[in-house]
Amino acid sequence: MSPAGHSDEDRAFQHAALRSDIEPGLPLAVTLPDGRRVVLVQDGADVFAAADRCPHRDFPLSGGDVIAPCILECPWHGAQFDVRTGEVVQGPATDPLALYEVRIEGDDILVKPRS
């Protein structure tokens, strides 16, 4: 534990947004304090986070649509991803999404890259 009472793992989490910023069914693009862009998707009480880049051609996913619960479609070439697992649901992408671990503390949405 660090002197402030937070472990190194806790410090790896970064503030991404407030729960009040996100709407179910609408992807939300955020830029983390370290400069990385992340897309947030809410499904019920759950929030999922992924890198805001399609692994197919590196275009932003945040302009896409949530076409089914937890399925995000890239607006550029139609690739579809399950934001819970990162799996490709429909090509042309073949590589999975880079996902982030999500922690909710009050109204704060905190994220860190999954290892």
Backbone torsions φ then ψ of 11, nearest 5 degrees: -70, -20
Four-residue CA torsion sign, 42, 17, 53, 76: positive
When pLDDT is cut at 50, 70 and 90, the band that residue 7 belongs to is: low
When pLDDT is cut at 50, 70 and 90, the band that residue 8 belongs to is: low
Helices (H) and strands (E) in the chain, counts: 1, 10
What is the predicted pLDDT for the residue at 1?
Answer: 43
Cα–Cα distance measured from residue 98 to residue 115, given in angstroms and rounded to the nearest whole number: 10
Q: What percent of the chain has pLDDT over 70?
A: 91
Torsion angle, CA of 86/87/92/97, rounded to 10 degrees?
Answer: 20
Cα–Cα distance measured from residue 88 to residue 80, given in angstroms and rounded to the nearest whole number: 6
When pLDDT is cut at 50, 70 and 90, the band that residue 6 belongs to is: low
pLDDT above 70 (res 48) = yes
